[in-house]
Amino acid sequence: MNVRFSPALFRHAEVLLSELLRSSFPADLVVSHYFRQHRELGHADRGFVAETVFSVLRRKRSLSARCADEVTSRRLLLAALASLHGMNRRELAVVLSESESKWLGQAKAVHMDDLPPAVRLDLPDWLHDELSRQFSAEAVEQLAAALNQPAPLDLRVNSLKANRQEVLARLLADGLTASPCPYSPLGIRLTGKPALSRHPLFLDGSIEVQDEGSQLLGFLLQPRRGEMVADFCAGAGGKTLLLGAMMRSQGRLYAFDVDERRLARLKPRLARSGLSNVHPVRIDSERDTRIRRLAGKLDRVLVDAPCSGLGTLRRNPDLKWRQTPASVAELCTKQEAILAAAGGLVKPGGRLVYATCSVLEAENEVIVQSFLARFPEFVLCSAQEILARQEIAIDIGERLRLLPQHHGTDAFYGAVMERK
């Protein structure tokens, strides 16, 4: 622990966790809002508070089991600090009452092996059941353990402005612990959570924060100079910027999204990137007339579909408690419609990539198989061969399936299809 533990710091964590457990907003937004309200907290203090509350969100079911009959924000935090962060009762004494000290000894003594698998693995019952249908019991254990770990901080080098070796050398010279990502030729992995928002390389657009798995989706699409390309669900544009750099800022790259606020976050990133070929377009839906006008005209289309996000639980642990079978079913209906509309943009000989950051077959294989059955003019291509031709050696098979326990990335799915 890099900060001096104190009652004030514990109180911040307790108040923030209470807000998180009550809020209907994503956890990262709630945390950001809290820190904006409490600017007296330094970088290390914010790091401690955020890491502590996120560890509770990750392990809420098993921590609740340790709390027995009285599950409160305070007890969840104490159980997390003692059982997950290794703090002893002497270190916690500044915030413990006498009764809490006795209870904490009992909480730490709970045997995890005695708990039901879904509780021990910190998964909702429905998700544990679904993963158990898809994977062996051992694989579910490994996946859950990996998803319950904090994610590293991955960067992508903007190839328009720098190369990876130059950026690595600069980061190391600045005292950061950095190494090349194992798969993405543009990826750099940092140790810890350094503040990068004011780093010169970030300010001049030489680097962007982007998970290595997300970077590999760009290499599946493999856009070329002069082509017409679309990022169909662009969001804040992380993959858009990668695609534009791969095109060397030549050709035309559409960034489509239904959310004006997400596209607004692309604008400052676009200004830093040096790209001039990106055209952000807010659309009403996948049936927007601006989409229909481009039917059959695009060389490549990426569909990073809105999904459950269950592959990003290392970063967004609250999602597993928010999603339900009903919400996933609703997303699947949306995914089918979006993929069909995006496929209509692809010209003969063009490429379509469907991707999610989900581990659920219902959002991945089932959607792609349904699309291929409806649109036989599209054929599946080998993701592994496409990456191998770009000298990216990774064992994934015909479709991209990234899992944190095997690849060190968020869990991603990607299918490459070409129009005959």
Active site residues: 357
d(CA 119, CA 391): 42
d(CA 69, CA 64): 9
In 3D, which of 216, 210, 260 has the Cα closest to residue 235? 260
d(CA 130, CA 361): 9
- Residue 179 has phi, psi (to 5 degrees) of -150, 160
Cα 58 → chain centroid: 14
Question: DSSP character for 113?
Answer: G
Q: Is 306 helix (H, G, I), strand (E, B) or coil?
A: coil
By the 8 A CB rule, do 5 and 89 touch? no
d(CA 71, CA 60): 10
- Residue 51 has phi, psi (to 5 degrees) of -60, -40
Q: Is 302 helix (H, G, I), strand (E, B) or coil?
A: strand
Cα 400 → chain centroid: 16
